[in-house]
């Protein structure tokens, strides 16, 4: 990041502006240092280390890759860096505990058929289906944990000023991070399986999973492979139902009945299914964009109705229930921390801090 970006963040809501000289001086004010750490979240001891941080491909994806599929904004870069630190910390714990994170799934290549790879891996990686999307997502995260793949969620509250412009990312060798999509778990599920595709190809990426470019055939070979893999992994045997229909047009009501059925039983969004129909030439471009506009308009109306109801409840003084959603915890993450705790590598404070729990709840996690 540039010094201008740092100063902009530090002075975002503060009356007294911080200058560059305030930061780079013989004795930095502790309050300024705390402001800095609100962004980097390294802990104050990090800045007291006299050694210069070491730039290496092992330490950060930003030194391994020069370009991503999205122009990462400041918050996205911070989140990627935060989870890179978490990955390195977990790796260190595993080595000290002799805990094995070896890869259990082979590396695939883009010259292999994504649909066939998806069909092959569904047998081991697909969880028991649940009509509740969050439960299905949790089941998928649990399944990936069995194969030594960490999955983490990061959550952005509705009133957060600086938001990330990415849906998810994959960090070598075995970490997938997702943005919680509280109002669209279908999108989060698809993103998870898309990033799983990056894991299979062993290709790191941070991105916004873009359906529009997918429809416009405007993706790299890797991105197209990951999208094809994600679509077919979730679609499964329902591909046979689609194969029986030659064309989706006004004569058969664009297959809405079939699409709704498949969407409800796979958690693929309807727009993802229609996008794939366009790519298979089973749906015309004109019809696709008409359907896409209708779906987006319905989403917009639903959102506006929900916001209007919230505003009305506030004006009428009605109690509005709801709490900040909690990220789904991977069993692999909990196991790693538990073993490190029992081996004396971390203490109760670090365990509770990593799990974001109070000390009186530690027994619940240690006895699993």
User: What is residue 207's DSSP assignment?
Assistant: E
pLDDT digits (tens, 9 = 90+) for 331-348: 999 999 999 999 999 999
Residue 276: pLDDT band with limits 50, 70, 90 = very high
The H-or-E segment that residue 168 falls in is: strand 168-171
Residue 212: pLDDT band with limits 50, 70, 90 = low
Give the N- to C-terminal CA distance of the chain in Å, as an integer.
Answer: 41
pLDDT digits (tens, 9 = 90+) for 114-164: 999 999 999 999 999 999 999 999 999 999 999 999 999 999 987 787 899
Which residue has better confidence, 322 or 223? 223
Longest dimension (CA), the chain: 76
User: What is residue 330's DSSP assignment?
Assistant: P
The H-or-E segment that residue 60 falls in is: none
211, 133, 209: which is closest to 167 by C-alpha? 209
Annotated domain spans of the chain: 3-48, 73-284, 331-366
> For residues 143 and 55, is the Cβ–Cβ distance under 8 A?
no
């Amino acid at each position: 990041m540039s010094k201008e970006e740092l100063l902009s963040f530090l002075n975002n809501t503060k009356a007294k502006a911080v200058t560059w000289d305030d930061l780079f001086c013989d004795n930095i004010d502790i309050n300024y240092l705390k402001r800095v750490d609100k962004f980097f979240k390294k802990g104050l001891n990090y800045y007291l280390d006299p050694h210069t941080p070491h730039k290496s491909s092992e330490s950060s994806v930003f030194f391994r890759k020069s370009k991503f599929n999205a122009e990462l904004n400041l918050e996205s870069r911070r989140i990627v860096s935060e989870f890179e630190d978490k990955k390195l910390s977990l790796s260190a714990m595993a080595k000290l505990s002799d805990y094995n994170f070896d890869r259990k799934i082979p590396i695939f290549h883009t010259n292999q058929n994504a649909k066939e790879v998806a069909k092959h891996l569904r047998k081991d990686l697909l969880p028991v289906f649940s009509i509740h999307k969050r439960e299905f997502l949790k089941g998928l995260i649990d399944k990936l944990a069995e194969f030594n793949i960490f999955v983490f969620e990061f959550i952005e509250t509705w009133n957060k000023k600086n938001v990330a412009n990415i849906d998810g990312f994959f960090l070598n060798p075995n970490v997938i991070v997702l943005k919680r999509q509280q109002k669209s778990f279908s999108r989060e599920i698809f993103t998870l399986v898309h990033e799983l595709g990056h894991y299979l190809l062993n290709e790191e990426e941070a991105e916004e999973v873009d359906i529009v470019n997918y429809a416009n055939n405007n993706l790299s070979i890797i991105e197209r492979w990951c999208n094809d893999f994600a679509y077919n992994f979730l679609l499964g045997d329902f591909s046979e139902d689609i194969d029986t229909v030659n064309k989706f047009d006004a004569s058969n009501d664009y297959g809405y009945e079939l699409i709704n059925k498949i969407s409800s039983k796979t958690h693929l969004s309807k727009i993802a299914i229609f996008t794939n129909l366009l790519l298979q030439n089973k749906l015309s471009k004109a019809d696709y964009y008409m359907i896409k506009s209708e779906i987006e308009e319905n989403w917009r109306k639903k959102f506006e109705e929900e916001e209007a109801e919230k505003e009305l409840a506030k004006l009428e003084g009605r109690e509005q229930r709801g709490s900040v959603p909690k990220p789904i915890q991977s069993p692999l993450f909990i196991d790693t921390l538990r073993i490190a705790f029992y081996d004396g590598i971390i203490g109760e404070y670090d365990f509770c801090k990593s799990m974001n729990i109070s000390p009186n709840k530690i027994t619940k996690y240690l006895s699993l």
